[in-house]
Amino acid sequence: MVQSLRNLENQQFGFESQSRLIVRLNPALAGYTIERLPGLYRRLQDRFSRMPGVLSASLALHSPMDGWNWNAQVWIQGRQPALNAQDDYSFYDYVSAQYFETIGTHLLRGRAIEERDTPTSRRVAVVNDVLARKFFPNEDPIGKHLGFNTLNHAGDYEIVGVVEDTKYLDPKIPADPMVFMPLLQTVIYDDPTQNSYQAWGNYIDGIQLHVAGRPENLQTEVRNALAEIDPNLTVLKMTNLEEQVGTRLNSQRLIAQLTSMYGILALVLACVGLYGVAAYSVARRTSEIGLRMALGAGSKEVLVMVLRGAMAPILIGLAIGLPLVFAGGHLIASQLYGVRSYDPVILGMAVGVLGLSAVLASVVPASRAASIDPMRALRTE
């Protein structure tokens, strides 16, 4: 569990979490209508891009690991849909210019969302690599068209770029197919429900800032800047991207801490038990030890004899416990990341620690037996 947590924390997420500040807000709560959003977004991006200490700023419906994401069925122009509609689903996000630069996601080919991608310009989209490989195997997706929900909209968006795979929801599973579209570029659907989703999708969930120093140092300036733009804009939450990622790992971190604590407790109890058994064994064999030493047995032979007796229950325990380890490993396999439930290195380390602990627990009574006075031992009942 500890190694699994370490692997989760140190994996490649497809974005940079350091020096990134996430400012969560909702313009709808401040009374903004769809018509007023373009002006607000221009002011936000301009003000935060010029803020001292900010390297780049962006706006988006979703940011990585924020705990939620929208998805819909993707239709590719000129391609037959999958037999199972669920296979054609993709997550999507509405983002502003400089979004990928701000969160540290690398552009693989083509171009990113730019300032020229406005509500009145041609509709474009950027896809991640897993979507490109899934829907456009052995061909370049740049210039191809896709859309959402119905076949009639398969040509709504032209793919202009491909970015690296980024994990947005669960750090334990591979990156999902993802489509990124410019903020405020909308499509008119026949279904009012789809139009409603489209409208709400253009209300950003937050501002992303790439800062030069510690993100926490800019929190006061950020609040002041929002108050200058509109005092009604309320900051729902302000956190750095590292904390946002860490929140998604809380359950794994808790499990790793609990299993470590219980493992240490079990090890201590086992050592105490082994010490008690070894000490009791020595006490019962005091007369025998005295007789052996009187007949010429040295301290070394007595020490080896006691340790050999102490190791017997250890070997029996390992013979019983190792098969149970493999069986139990299958039960926790779904909780592991980047490590097998029967990893030979970790298993070998565990056996080594148990064996060493058992030896150390038996050394004291064994040393006491080796130093016993033969004449006194012979008189012991």
Paired tokens of 6: 């370490």
- Max distance between CA atoms of the chain, in angstroms, equals 104
pLDDT of residue 377: 58
Give the β-pairing of 145-148 and 124-128: unpaired
> Could you tell me if 182 and 328 lie in one domain?
no
The structure tokens listed for 19 are: 């020096």
Residue 6 lies in a domain: no
Q: What is the pLDDT of residue 160?
A: 96
Based on the fold, state whether residues 175 and 262 are members of the same structural domain.
Answer: no
Q: Which residues span the domain enclosing 320?
A: 251-378
In tens, the pLDDT along 204-233 reads: 999 999 999 888 888 999 999 999 999 999
Residue 22 has pLDDT above 90, yes or no: yes
- Considering 216, 242, 268, which residue would you say is the last residue of a domain? 242
Give a yes or no: residue 7 inside a domain: no
Q: Domain check: are 344 and 316 in the same one?
A: yes
Q: For the chain, how many structural domains are there in total?
A: 2
Residue 8 lies in a domain: no
pLDDT per residue over 42-90, tens digit each? 999 999 999 999 999 999 999 998 878 888 889 999 887 776 767 789 9
Are 76 and 140 in a shared domain?
Answer: yes
Token pair, residue 7, equals: 């692997």
- Strand, coil or helix: 92: strand
**Residue finishing a domain among 202, 221, 242:** 242
In whole angstroms, what is the distance from residue 209 CA to residue 49 CA? 9
Which of 183, 208, 242 is the C-terminal boundary of a domain? 242
Q: Residue 200 falls within a domain, yes or no?
A: yes
323 plus 287 within the same structural domain: yes
- Is 231 contained in some domain? yes
Q: How many Cα neighbours within 13 Å face the side chain of 114?
A: 9
Those residues whose C-beta lies under 8 Å from the C-beta of residue 70, and which sit 6 or more positions away, are 61, 62, 91, 92, 93, 197, 201
Which has the closest alpha carbon to 278: 163, 367, 180? 367
Statement to judge: residues 127 and 191 lie in one domain: yes
Domain match, 37 and 177 both: yes
266 by DSSP, 3-state: which?
helix
List, in sequence order, the alpha helices (H) in 230-343. 241-248, 250-284, 286-294, 299-332
Has residue 370 been placed in a domain?
A: yes
Judgement on whether residues 37 and 158 belong to the same structural domain of the protein: yes
Instruction: Return the closest-CA partner of residue 276 out of 350, 370, 381, 364.
Output: 364
Distance in angstroms (rounded) separating the CA atoms of residues 147 and 90: 11
Residues 203 and 83 occupy one common structural domain: yes
DSSP code at position 137 = T
Is there a domain that residue 1 lies in?
no
Its pTM stands at 0.77
What span, in angstroms and rounded, lies between the C-alpha atoms of 28 and 238? Answer: 18
